[in-house]
Each structure stands twice: as structure tokens, then as C-alpha cells.
Amino acid sequence: MPKIHSKQISKELSLLRVDDDEVRYFEALWEIENGITYNSYLLTGEDEVILVDGWKREYADDFSEALKDLIDIRDITHVIVHHMEPDHSGSLAKILKENGFRAEVLGHPLVRGMMKAFYGIDVKFRAVKDGERLSLGGLHLEFFHTPWLHWPETIMTYLRGHGILFSGDAFGGFSIPPAIFDDDDEVVSSYLPFVREYISTIIGSYRQHIPRNVKKLMDQRLEIRMIAPAHGLIWRKNPERIIEYYLKIADGIPEEGKVLVIYASMYGSCEEAGNIVAEELKKQGKRVITYGFTDVRWASINKIIGDAVDSESLIIIAPTYENAVFPTISHVADLIARKIPPNKPILVLSSHGWAGVAGKKLAERFRSANFSVIDVVEFKGKPDEDVKKRILESVSKLLSQSSTN
Ligand SMILES: Cc1cc2nc3c(=O)[nH]c(=O)nc-3n(C[C@H](O)[C@H](O)[C@H](O)COP(=O)(O)O)c2cc1C
Ligand SMILES: [Fe+2]
Ligand SMILES: [Fe+2]
């Protein structure tokens, strides 16, 4: 059963958070063993009740019950929609029906059509302009369009006077933190790797919009005392920390010495090449993280993407399979090419039985995404002494070109 948190944060503000420990593959793609939270907020003004985002559809009944413990749903006067992805909007149709569609929905102009298309509902809608200010029941709201964090319709709301930024997906992360706020440094430290995984997998393809939108907010000279995202921890002790972390990951700034070895191996040849590389890198003082796809275990693809983003270099190893790249690595390579900043040199190794093509194809894929592929070693069967020598030479070439070397 998912845990539900209903917490009054201040006189005007309550958090409604559900800890989704049932999801297995977020967006039907990302295997998130540690779950995720959906954070909704309730703002109560003098005569106004403003609902800020919702939960996903599977928790619509729980959401309705949690809201009823705080207010009469018919009293909701406004619903601010920061993002239409159904992990947040999926429960809103039920709430709006229970509300008798009295509430005015506030959002980016695209929201009205999405509401109709996703849920078949016509809502009382008010499009908010970028930079628009609106005072409701003594609450002074300011809306900012922040496109592509994570969809084109994403906005943020700043509650002037209180210094609260409702940021939607941005500044959120995967996992179910054991706290509501960022007060405890240990909680924050163990949460940040899940934020890194979230940024690189979910927002990775739109990463250039992170610094662009952060600059836009900074140019407003907002006094941000609290960041209230739609996933994960609320930042009140140190909101700058999550902003800086987002900027660092968006740029793919490497952790010094961190190198990723990713391989698939049906019968052990590529695994052997992976072991040779990992051993050599460790000898050279690198912190090596290895992910393998074999006949007894499969790596987590979102962990690979999360670790690739701040590695200083990558080694990708795959067999040739039916005259192409082995499927799992083909998938991983495609995700890396789309979602990871190309500021890391890549070494490609590949084994084949009769005619190798995987190495060349992988190199082409990465080069087309502006990665520097420093070497490709194609070999037949298991790496023999000669191949081993070539692999070690290419590793030293890779190290001489790593960004923090
Ligand atoms: C299903 C399957 C398809 C393969 N397709 C090709 C191929 O198209 N071209 C080729 O040269 N080798 C092919 N091979 C041979 C492998 O690439 C070769 O055995 C390689 O060494 C396997 O590496 P591994 O031991 O790391 O799995 C194929 C092997 C299998 C099992
Ligand atoms: Fe999203
Ligand atoms: Fe989301």
C-alpha cells in the first residue's frame, strides 16, 4: 500500500504526497526499484482554495480522500496545472468532477487542449502568460513559462511574499525520500543520486533548457526561500543546492576519476574484454563502475544513464548480433546518444564470430551525437594476447583524452 503524507507546512500551505512504491517501470521504461513520490499542494487564501497539481490516476481515489480530510472538494476555486504528464494530472479529472467543474484551471495555453485530449473534459480554463501576476484571496502568484521541463506546457508558480517556488518536475527526483524536507544532510546525500538519475533519464534530451530556464528565474531576482517540486524532497534549508545540482548534471560535469564500463555478452567474450578494461582502469587509479547484460543478470538501464552523465569517459562493449549491434547495447547506446552531454570520450570494443559490424555501427551512432569515439577495437571470438594488447593501448589513449585527466 502506498504511504500518504498530508502535512500542513504553513498557515496557507499543505503538502499532499503519495509514495508510489508500486510502479515498476516509470513511463513504461525506467525501472525504478526505489519508487517515486507525487507531490501536490493545497494553498488556502481568504476565500480561495487553490489546488496545485495532483497524483497519477491510480491514486485518484486516495487523492480525493486525502483532500476531503482537509477541505470540501466543492470549495476548490482554482487548480494550477504545472505539467500535464499524467503522473500529476491523472487524478485531476476525478477531482474536477467532484468539484462540479467550479474551479478555474490555470495553466499554459496548451493545457486546455491536453485536458480534453487526455481526459475528455472541458474545464473552466484560464491561460496564464509568462510573467503574469495574479492575486487570489491574499495570495500573490506569479507564473513563469518554463518550457521543456519537462514538456512544452510546463510552468512554475512563485508565491510572492512567501518565497515559495512550485517547480513541477524540475528540481525533483526519483525514489521515496524518508523525509519531507531537505533538513537532514544524510537524507539529501542519499537522495541526490536519484535526482541525477531522474534528470538524465527524464529531462536528459531537453537538458539545455535547464540552464536557460534557471537563468530566466534568476533574472527575475526572486527571493526563493522554498522550492516545492512535484517529486521528492521539498527544499527549504538549502534551495540553492538543488538548483546548482540540476545545473551541474545538465552540463554533464564529470566526477573526477569516474569511468563507466558497459557490456553485453552472450557467451563471455565481451565480458572478458570488460574485465580486462576494468582491471587496467583500476590499476590507473580510476573509480570503475561496471554494468553487464549476460545470461544470468541484466543491468538497470536507468542506473547506467544516471551514472553515464557524470562519468569522465565511457567504454561500451557489444557483440555483433545478426549483422548489427547486440540489442540491449543498441538500446543503451541510443539512450546515451540522446540524453547524455557528449563531453566524454568513448572507447568501443566489439566481438564477432565471422564478420564484425557492431563496433563500427556503435561508433557511428555516438559520433552522430557529437561524442568523440577515440578508438574502436573489433575482434574475433575471445580476446587473445594480441587483442588484449590492442585493448590496453586503446585504454591508455582513452585516459589521455579524458576530460578531467
Ligand atoms: C544469436 C547470435 C547472432 C550472431 N550474429 C552474428 C553476426 O551477425 N555476425 C558475426 O560476425 N557474429 C555473430 N554472432 C557471433 C558472436 O558475435 C560471437 O560469438 C561473439 O564472440 C559473441 O560475444 P560474447 O561471447 O560476448 O557473447 C552471433 C552470435 C549469436 C549467438
Ligand atoms: Fe514529466
Ligand atoms: Fe513528473
* Span 106-157, pLDDT tens digits: 999 999 999 999 999 999 999 999 999 999 999 999 999 999 999 999 999 9
Residue 12 CA, ligand 3 centroid: distance in Å: 24
**Structure confidence by residue, pLDDT tens digits, 4-49:** 999 999 999 999 999 999 999 999 999 999 999 999 999 999 999 9
Residue 65 CA, ligand 1 centroid: distance in Å: 56
In the chain, CATH 3.60.15.10 sits at 3-251
Q: Is 46 in the pocket of ligand 1 (CB under 6 A)?
A: no
Higher pLDDT, 404 or 47: 47
Q: Which residue has the cell 547495447?
A: 329
Q: Is 42 in the pocket of ligand 1 (CB under 6 A)?
A: no
Which atom of ligand 1 lies closest to the CA of 273? 26
Q: Is 321 in the pocket of ligand 1 (CB under 6 A)?
A: yes
- CA–CA gap between residue 343 and residue 345 (Å, rounded): 7
Above 90 in pLDDT, residue 403? no
- CA–CA gap between residue 397 and residue 399 (Å, rounded): 6
The domain made up of 3-251 has a fold known as: Metallo-beta-lactamase; Chain A (3.60.15)
Residue 169 CA, ligand 3 centroid: distance in Å: 5
Measuring CA to CA, how many Å separate 286 from each of 132, 251, 252, 277, 307?
Answer: 50, 21, 18, 11, 14
Q: Give the other-Cβ count within 10 Å of 163's Cβ.
A: 15
- CA–CA gap between residue 400 and residue 34 (Å, rounded): 37
Residue 384 CA, ligand 1 centroid: distance in Å: 17
- Ligand number with the minimum distance to the CA of 202: 2
Which pLDDT belongs to residue 132?
98
Q: Is 355 in the pocket of ligand 1 (CB under 6 A)?
A: yes
Residue nearest to atom 15 of ligand 1 (CA): 353
Q: What band does 401 get if pLDDT is binned at 50, 70 and 90?
A: confident
- What's the whole-number mean pLDDT along residues 192-200? 98
Q: Is 90 in the pocket of ligand 1 (CB under 6 A)?
A: no
* Beta-sheet pairing, 13-20 with 30-31: unpaired
Q: Is 138 in the pocket of ligand 1 (CB under 6 A)?
A: no
**pLDDT mean across residues, the chain:** 97
In the chain, CATH 3.40.50.360 sits at 259-395
Residue 157 CA, ligand 2 centroid: distance in Å: 16
Q: Is 327 in the pocket of ligand 1 (CB under 6 A)?
A: no
- What's the whole-number mean pLDDT along residues 67-80? 98
Above 90 in pLDDT, residue 1? no
- What's the whole-number mean pLDDT along residues 376-404? 93
Q: What band does 402 get if pLDDT is binned at 50, 70 and 90?
A: confident
Which pLDDT belongs to residue 220?
95
Which pLDDT belongs to residue 405?
45
The answer to whether the beta carbons of residues 29 and 70 sit under 8 Å apart is no
Which pLDDT belongs to residue 347?
98
Does domain 259-395 correspond to CATH entry 3.40.50.2030? no
Residue nearest to atom 2 of ligand 1 (CA): 321
Q: Is 354 in the pocket of ligand 1 (CB under 6 A)?
A: yes
Three-state SS sequence of the chain: CCEEEEEECCCCEEEEEEEECCCCEECCCEECCCCEEEEEEEEECCCCEEEECCCCHHHHHHHHHHHHCCCCHHHCCEEEECCCCHHHHCCHHHHHHHCCCCCEEEECCHHHHHHHHHHCCCCEEEECCCCCEEEECCEEEEEEECCCCCCCCCEEEEEECCCEEEEECCCCCCCCCCCCECCCHHHHHHHHHHHHHHHHHHHHHHCCHHHHHHHHHHHCCCCCCEEEECCCCEECCCHHHHHHHHHHHHHCCCCCCEEEEEEECCCCHHHHHHHHHHHHHHHCCCEEEEEEECCCCCCCHHHHHHHHCCCCEEEEEEEEECCEECHHHHHHHHHHHHHCCCCCCEEEEEEECCCCCHHHHHHHHHHHCCCCEEEEEEEECCCCHHHHHHHHHHHHHHHHHCCCC
Could you give the percent of the chain with pLDDT greater than 70? 99
**Structure confidence by residue, pLDDT tens digits, 294-315:** 999 999 999 999 999 999 999 9
Which atom of ligand 1 lies closest to the CA of 268? 25
- What's the whole-number mean pLDDT along residues 77-99? 98
Q: Is 322 in the pocket of ligand 1 (CB under 6 A)?
A: yes
Which atom of ligand 1 lies closest to the CA of 321? 5
Residue nearest to atom 28 of ligand 1 (CA): 321
**Structure confidence by residue, pLDDT tens digits, 325-381:** 999 999 999 999 999 999 999 999 999 999 999 999 999 999 999 999 999 999 999
CA neighbor of 39 nearest in space, from 88, 92, 111, 90: 88
Using alpha carbons only, give the angle 226, 230, 231 rounded to the nearest 5 degrees. Answer: 100
Residue 356 CA, ligand 1 centroid: distance in Å: 9
